[in-house]
């Protein structure tokens, strides 16, 4: 079965250390995604495209800096993508290996979390949900800007924690032989 992301019931977020003492959280306000399940309802594939210009950390000046060439270079790389390559599922626990592309560079990542098998909503639609998290080193994708503090620490941490909460709606099956 094919699925489309319901962006009104989804969030793509991240967190990173600031000045080595606190954590800054942010999210992307614009993204799209799809997936597929096997006949038994288990997860088969996941794909997402995230609009890098939609970054939101609640600080306009910081968001502009993150869109700049120092970080996402959104003018030249307006989207980052994730495409699953392997899925291991035991009950609701799931591990997804896939390719994450940021700034035109693709690296393998592993996300772990929970998958809620399809259920019918009050309006008769089939829905499924996925909650995933993982950690990447931003420098692996060319996001290398930083400032060294007088104590020797960094202004922006290198490790970025990712968190994705999505709900998807089943797509109508294509009619075989339909005109």
Neighbours of 8 (CB within 10 A): 6
CB under 8 Å to 81, separation ≥6 — which residues?
47, 48, 49, 50, 99, 100, 101
| Residues 108-133, mean pLDDT to the nearest whole number | 94
Q: Who wins on pLDDT, 131 or 155?
A: 131
Give the pTM: 0.88
Check: CB of residue 99 under 8 Å from CB of residue 107. Answer: yes
Using one digit for the tens of pLDDT, what is the confidence trace for 166-178? 999 999 764 444 4
Using one digit for the tens of pLDDT, what is the confidence trace for 2-42? 999 999 999 999 988 777 777 889 999 999 999 999 998 89
Using one digit for the tens of pLDDT, what is the confidence trace for 21-31? 778 899 999 99
Query: What is the token pair recorded at 174?
Result: 């294509």
CATH class of 2-170: mainly beta
């Amino acid at each position: 079965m094919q699925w489309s992301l319901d962006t009104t019931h989804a969030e793509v977020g991240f967190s990173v250390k600031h000045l080595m003492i606190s954590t800054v959280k942010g999210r992307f306000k614009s993204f799209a995604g799809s997936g597929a399940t096997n006949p038994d309802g288990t997860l088969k594939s996941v794909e997402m495209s995230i609009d890098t210009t939609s970054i939101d950390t609640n600080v306009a000046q910081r968001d502009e800096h993150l869109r700049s060439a120092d970080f996402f270079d959104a003018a030249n790389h307006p989207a980052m993508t994730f495409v699953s390559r392997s899925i291991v599922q035991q009950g609701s626990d799931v591990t997804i290996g896939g390719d994450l592309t940021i700034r035109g560079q693709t690296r393998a990542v592993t996300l772990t979390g929970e998958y809620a098998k399809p259920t019918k909503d009050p309006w008769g639609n089939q829905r499924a949900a996925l909650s995933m998290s993982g950690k990447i080193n931003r420098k692996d994708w060319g996001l290398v800007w930083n400032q060294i503090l007088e104590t020797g620490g960094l202004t922006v941490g290198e490790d970025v924690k990712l968190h994705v909460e999505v709900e998807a709606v089943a797509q109508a099956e294509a009619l075989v032989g339909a005109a």
